[in-house]
Structure formats: C-alpha cells, structure tokens
Structure 1
C-alpha cells in the first residue's frame, strides 16, 4: 500500500490500471467515516482499462492525521496526491462528503476536471427546523451512539443488518476529532450558488431512500448545473455498497458517451 505525507498526515492510497490510456484517470473519493474500500466494485471493474486512484482521506481508514476544518482543506489533500502522482486531467467520483470535495475540486481547478460524478451528494446542507434540531441534539449523545445512529440510518430498509453492523464498527474506528470536525465541515459546506460555474458534464446518482441527504435536495442542485445527468436508484445513502453493480453500470454509461 503506497503512502504520501501531506501537511501532517500520511495518506494511504491505491493507484491502479494502465498509465498509457487516453482516458482521464478516475479519482474515487469516499464519504464521512468511510474509506477507499467503499469503491472496491468500481475499482475492480474500471482498473482493467483505465487508471484509477483512490485514497483514504486523512484520519480515515489507513490514513493518519487530523486538523482539517473545511471541505476545501480535504480537497487540498486530494490535489497534493494527484500532483505527486503527476495526474493532470481527471474525473472525480465522490460519494456524499466525497462529492462535496469533488465539487470543490471542480471549482478550484476547473481546467483539470474532465467530467464529474456525484453519488448521494449535494451542494448545500439544508435542514428543516425539526430535522436541524434533531441533528444538533444527536451530537450530545455518547460518541459511539452518535456514529451508530448516523450510519444505521444511511442504509435503505432491508439491507442486511449484519453488514450494517460491520460498517458501524468500521466508522466508529475513525478518531472522534476527525468525525466531529468533519461533521461540522459538512454542515457548513455551501457551494450551491456557484455550481453554475461547473460546466463539465456531471452525473448525479442518488438513492431514492436516502434520508441523510434527501433526493429532493440533489434535484434542486441539479437544476443549477449547466450540464447535469440524473440517475436515481432504489437504495439509501450508501449506494457504492448497497447497489454496487447498478452504480458501476451508471458510471460506465456516463464515462463512455456514445457507446
């Protein structure tokens, strides 16, 4: 497993697939409390024919480090890794918080982003008064209960309970400082008024049963994009693991226009 030291963190990453292809590399960016293995199905599918880069964000998975306070700072980590790997043009594929990072990359480095895929992600966190109070109250419960409650509700009804427990245990291994700081960073994230600047073709794939980031919020965002394609799948918030084959197929169609 290769690693890169970046601003007080050690980032674990995978860099797979051919280097001599004409297709821009895929850069797979996971969400809050997850890790790069959320993308196992997509990596296995695409790495046989194009370059695929995926990383554990700082403080997640096998990466170390903390201290980031904003989504923009996480985007800087991704940029540092891509610079190290000499990747210029690329296609960011971001899930949830990873989609927030992807949009930030598209806004700060527009010449480097060829296309973009947002999976269960939005451009602005928006809560009703009741849900906002509930989310604020959830931070007052014990840490492990806070993590468990947020991860359990991310899956659509009927997803195997033993697998949900597996993801809860994995997420609870993320350092408390990282979890809580980035929870605040997501709540503060807001680029909705700027997404009209993102002119590259963008695929938005969302779970119909997503109650973490409801599909209606994604649809409102999609209207502001100059070139957005929407795909809604019968799943919850964790599309990469709930419906991996369907997500991969949607990516395949988007990445091979005219095929």
Structure 2
C-alpha cells in the first residue's frame, strides 16, 4: 500500500502530488486546512516513501490511491491533484466516481500529450537512462518554476525529486505520455471540479470548457504555485472548497 500520513478533522481531502515530488510538497498550505478537513497525503509509487510496484498507466496509479481510501473506509473524498496528481485524479473521476465527491486539478490540464510532447517524454527517459536521474532532475526542476524560482523553493523541489527512484521516474513518464485526452470527460462530469492555472506555467496547456460544474481560477505563478505563492494558492483553493461544500 502507498505510504501516507493523515492529519486534521472534518471532511476528507486526499492530496496527490506530482511527478518528481512527495506528499510534503503541500506542507506550506496544510496548516491552514487542518481545522476543517481530514487531510490524507500520499506518496505515489516510486516517489517519496512508496515503492514502485509495476504501475504502467494513470489508472494503475489511481487504483493505488483508492486502495488507501478503501483501507481507511473512505468513499466520498475531495481529491486535489497537482500536475501528474491531477491526471491521476482525472482517471478517478472517469473510472471510479463513487470515490470522488469533488476534485481540484492544480496546474494540471486534461489535454493529452501532443506528438511533440510524447517525443519529449521519450527523450526524458533516454536522459534518465544515459545521464542518470540526478542529471534529469537538474534539467527539469528549473522549468517547473519558469526558470525564475525562489532559491529556497527550488532547493525544496530538488529535495523532493531526489526521493524518486529511477524505475518510478521512468514508469511515471511513460504513464503521462500514454494518458488519454480527458477534456470531453471533464465537460460531462456531474460533480464540482476546479482547475487552478498559473499565468507563468510553462508545462500545462489551457483548455476550453462550458461546463457549469467547472470553476477556473488563475494564480500569478509558475507550475509550482503552491510553493511560489502559497498564500495566493490557498486563497483560490479555500474559495472553491467553501463554494462547493
């Protein structure tokens, strides 16, 4: 089972971090949520303290999250996914809606990889195999911060990334490459959904929606808005949590 920790009291929120990260990436916003919410924070396979166990698709990762929720007898949680964690959350909304009360996708787009982006994923794997994971991390993390991050935040992101295994990084890269386009599914969803987009995010693509279930908020941040500006990020998140309770 995935490694997790649990804090707080109230309605349950499950937090799912992104690629090359850990459950501690939410530390800056967590203290402000514990008085209202039961927060469960997971390490994904091959990341943090969770071992990689052969997961190949976003649905495989989603099933590992659900395994934890089932173990804890939780079936109506709010899901908050950052980046790749958002892709996993989309898979849950699609395939396992009984476990999702509402969902927030943080710097995470429902559009599938383009042909060019899939080629870039292959290049990432090649870099990991030929130059090593640490070299790939050093190349990748600055882009998360739009090449203009606070030094302390970048160091924190590096420290999270260094807890990723080679197998976990490669598997996650292929899973992201192979994920389906989820725009139609998002537009047909019947539960409250939130997208937080960063004006300086170089990684995720915007998308159009006319669904009344979807709320979009923007932060003046990079892909790592929860580290760039946790106050602004938390304001947007709490606004949505309060509206859709």
Q: What is the aligned partner in structure 2 of residue 219 from structure 1? A: 207
- Does residue 85 of structure 2 align to residue 95 of structure 1? no
The root-mean-square deviation of aligned C-alpha atoms, in Å, is 2.1
Residues 225 and 175 of structure 1: is their aligned pair in 2 closer, same or farther, counting only changes over 3 Å?
A: farther
Within a 5 Å distance, the mapping from 1:19-38 to structure 2 comes to: 21=10, 24-38=11-25
In structure 2, stretches of 5+ residues that fail to align are none
TM-score scaled by structure 1?
A: 0.84
Match of 1:251 among 226, 229, 237: 237
Match of 2:168 among 178, 186, 191: 178
Match of 2:194 among 194, 203, 217: 203
- Does residue 56 of structure 2 align to residue 69 of structure 1? yes
Kindly state the Cα deviation for residue 230 of structure 1 after the two structures are TM-superposed: 0.8
Within a 5 Å distance, the mapping from 1:115-126 to structure 2 comes to: 115-126=102-113
The Cα offsets for residues 205-225 of structure 1, whole Å up to 9 and x where unpaired, read as 011111121xxx2333xx164
Kindly state the Cα deviation for residue 184 of structure 1 after the two structures are TM-superposed: 1.0
Q: How many aligned residue pairs are there?
A: 240
Within a 5 Å distance, the mapping from 1:142-161 to structure 2 comes to: 142-143=131-132, 144-161=134-151
- Does residue 219 of structure 2 align to residue 229 of structure 1? no
CA distance in 1, matches of 2:6, 2:55: 24
The Cα offsets for residues 74-121 of structure 1, whole Å up to 9 and x where unpaired, read as 100110100111112111000000001111111122233221111010
CA distance in 1, matches of 2:50, 2:32: 24
Higher relative contact order (CA closer than 8 Å, sequence separation 6+): 2
Match of 2:126 among 140, 144, 148: 140
- Does residue 39 of structure 2 align to residue 52 of structure 1? yes
CA distance in 1, matches of 2:186, 2:240: 20
TM-score scaled by structure 2?
A: 0.89
The Cα offsets for residues 20-76 of structure 1, whole Å up to 9 and x where unpaired, read as x4xx31111100110011111232111112211111112211222331111111100
Kept after mapping to 1: 8 A contact 2:150/2:228: no
Residues 225 and 78 of structure 1: is their aligned pair in 2 closer, same or farther, counting only changes over 3 Å?
A: farther
Helix, strand or coil at the partner of 1:86: coil
Kindly state the Cα deviation for residue 245 of structure 1 after the two structures are TM-superposed: 1.3
In structure 1, stretches of 5+ residues that fail to align are 1-5
Kept after mapping to 2: 8 A contact 1:26/1:90: yes
CA distance in 1, matches of 2:71, 2:119: 42
Within a 5 Å distance, the mapping from 1:98-113 to structure 2 comes to: 98-113=85-100
CA distance in 2, matches of 1:68, 1:201: 28
Kept after mapping to 2: 8 A contact 1:99/1:121: yes
Runs in 1 of length 4+ with deviation above 4 angstroms?
Answer: 131-135
